[in-house]
Chain A
Amino acid sequence: MRLLIAFALVLGLAGLAYLAGRARGNRMVTAAGGRMGAVHSRPVYHGAYVAVLALAPALIVLAGWGIVGEGLIEGQVLGSLSAAERPAPGNDSEALLNEVRGLVNGDLPQAFNPLAPRLAPVYAAARSNGDLLAGALAVALLAMGGLWGWSRLRPDFRARNRVETQVRALLLVASVVAILTTFGIVLSLIFESIRFFQLVSPVEFLTGLQWSPQTAIRADQVGSTGAFGAVPLFWGTIFIGAIIAMAVAIPLGLMSAIYLTQYADPRVRKWLKPILELLAGVPTVVYGFFAALTIAPLVRSFAVALGMTNASSDSALAAGLVMGVMIIPFVSSMADDALAAVPRAMRDGSLAMGATPSETVKKVLVPAALPGIMGGVLLAVSRAIGETMIVVMAAGLAANLTANPFSSVTTVTTQIVALLTGDQEFDSAKTLSAFALGLVLFVMTLILNIYALAVVKRYREAYE
């Protein structure tokens, strides 16, 4: 809120800077008798140049304060306590600071910790001092930047080119933000995974066959000690995402792509293709409840009819089938592109030899498009193994190492959800294992994606 007000103020001042720059540009044009070309850049560029020089440093200061400010305030607040009173760093300090913050903001009528009411004024003072300081610094820099830019304006000043450079810098920053975010996510995954691997050996994690992450929270609690062998999860993920789902998606996706590219009347294609692509737009949670409420009972009755009287209502098959349907558009649109990229001359050559359309598809088009189709399938697999909602709702939580499609299995994503929902100590092996699972999943999909893109790219080059 405070930050929002500061932002609004800074933006308003930058708007003034823009007007001032533009006005000066206009005056220069008038002074030059209004001749085109007498002033290098149009007045709007003068305005924009001044505004950007004013805005950029102020925004950096405010953003910086928004990021590190809270930490500085907290340090100051805790520093005001004597060493004896100071709570241990970590959870205790966090709890105290939360109460202090609650008191200052008025969210909390009364605090439990007797230290909190004492610290509240310290916190409030530190915060308002900090805000004031940051705000003042931002406005000062804004004024300096704006004035400096304003003072540089001359009829021959190349404001247009400068603004172009500024725009480029802005675009660069935007793309760097996305990259840095990804990088940060990966780093946090790695750090938390390292903490996990200090508690559980990577060998056990990657090769163990037993997954039961329930660890005792209190020392006197009865219960398991926890087993972190993730193989059943990896198997469940592959079983559902790479085997059952692909058994549905590859034939259906490929055949619909063949129909659409080779057989369908252009008018039919115009309708069918968007409808097929609509499948990709259905929210996965909708697929999830479709799997859980419609398909899973059907699969179960089928299993019972087959004589498996104890068939569970969660099954790998139900989740895999629905996931396969969800993945069809990925496979079919990649296969569609790949088939369409095979030169028409290839198809004509085969037809002119007396091949029927389906012989042509089978013997020439699909083999020629195979790398592209493979790429699509790999991307679909990586999408399927990262998919969460369907398996959470339909596959179950039991970490069975089984190839029976009617039994319940669990996947990496389902377990991550299960591990992180509910109350948990943040540094228990159970919670940390979610990060290790996430890391494995990330590495798997990354490898699949890189490989798939390389395959597709090599294929594209083959037909220039």
Chain B
Amino acid sequence: MNQNPAIGHNTVPKMTARDVNVFYGQKQAIKNVSIDVSAEHVTAFIGPSGCGKSTFLRCLNRMNDTVDGARVEGRIELDGQDVYASGMDVVQLRARVGMVFQKPNPFPKSIYENVAYGPRLHGLARSKTDMDEIVESALKRAGLWDEAKDRLNESGTAMSGGQQQRLCIARAIAVDPEVILMDEPCSALDPIATARIEELIDELRGRYAIVIVTHNMQQAARVSQKTAFFHLGTLVEYDDTSSIFTNPKATRTKDYITGRYG
């Protein structure tokens, strides 16, 4: 058995984190977390609320840089490149590591412009036809094309919550990232919209490395192949999802998945 909880599999990891500590001012929110994220799998972060799942997720695309007073220590790599190195361009990093938020946050622009936002920023389309193609394929991959193709010029904020969240996924996909981070993407959605997103995550698996934070253990069990259990800022256990749910090694994990607390 492996001593280091981070090395849970034997493929080359997409992202690696070693000894990561995060502080908000004086308060430490993440303590010594090391983890590998694989490119082929969906990785789920579970744990009681306030245990630092979102905080850790935001380290992976340096969104913590935008939080006043947040400080990150340790080493995080994307394909072996240090994400926090001074030579790393945050703009490029975020183009490679996309993010979907808890509450759907489409821009108050048309559906088309929402999807075209990233490609425009990064200059991915040379012509209008290019852009049309990018928008169409992103919407298709996000499973939104059939619903959106006749209303591309309507405001993205006029869609239903589930559609908005898929639009946000399409927006993230449009720049063709390598990793997609999702922070409780279904917590504001009804069960049908949730099922739709879970299906979508499964379809996207393999093409992108996906990390999903969820407080819903059934969801973790349904969509992920790897699960990491966080508690009080530490990574307690990281393993194949099936082992975590059927045969947890740590008692804290067992208590949590059997619903004893959290």
Contact = CB atoms under 8 A, between A and B. Distances in A.
Question: Most chain-B Cβ atoms within 10 A of its Cβ — which of A347, A352, A359, A363?
Answer: A352
A356 interface: yes
Given A266-B68, A354-B121, A368-B108, A345 B103 contact: yes
Question: Most chain-B Cβ atoms within 10 A of its Cβ — which of A346, A349, A350, A351?
Answer: A349
B94 interface: yes
B216 interface: no
A97 B43 CA distance: 96
Contact of B66 (A266, A351, A354): A351
B101 interface: yes
B35 to A, nearest CB: 20
Contacts of B95: 353-354
Contact of A354 (B105, B106, B118): B118
A368 B156 CA distance: 13
Nearest to B109: A367
A374 to B, nearest CB: 15
B116 to A, nearest CB: 11
B237 to A, nearest CB: 28
Nearest to A354: B94
B109 A353 contact: no
A462 B157 CA distance: 10
A345 B105 contact: yes
A348 B118 contact: no
B115 to A, nearest CB: 11
A353 B117 CA distance: 8
Given A348-B105, A359-B121, A353 B63 contact: no
A345 B121 CA distance: 18
Interface residues of B, number: 27
A355 interface: yes
A351 B103 contact: no
A348 B95 CA distance: 14
B172 to A, nearest CB: 7
Interface in A358-383: 359, 363-364, 367-368
A343 interface: yes
B105 A351 contact: no
B94 to A, nearest CB: 4
B107 interface: yes
B131 to A, nearest CB: 15
A228 to B, nearest CB: 48
B207 interface: no
Question: Most chain-A Cβ atoms within 10 A of its Cβ — which of B63, B92, B108?
Answer: B108
Nearest to A356: B91
Contacts of B93: 354
Interface residues of A, number: 20
Interface in B93-128: 93-95, 98-99, 101, 103, 105-109, 117-118, 121-122
Contact of A353 (B66, B68, B103, B118): B118
Contact of B168 (A349, A355, A368): A349
Contact of A348 (B63, B91, B171, B175): B63
A346 B106 CA distance: 7
A276 B200 CA distance: 50
Interface in B6-42: none
A65 to B, nearest CB: 61
A343 B63 CA distance: 16
B253 interface: no
B61 interface: yes
Contacts of A347: 66
Given A352-B94, A368-B107, A363 B63 contact: no
B94 A348 contact: no
A377 B61 CA distance: 38
Contacts of B175: 353-354
Interface in A327-354: 343, 345-354
B91 A352 contact: no
B98 A353 contact: yes
B195 to A, nearest CB: 24
A349 B101 contact: yes
A88 to B, nearest CB: 69
Interface in A294-346: 343, 345-346
B156 to A, nearest CB: 11
A349 B105 contact: yes
A269 to B, nearest CB: 11
A346 B109 CA distance: 11
Given A352-B98, A354-B94, A354-B121, A346 B68 contact: no
6 contacts: A346-B108, A348-B63, A354-B121, A355-B117, A363-B117, A462-B108
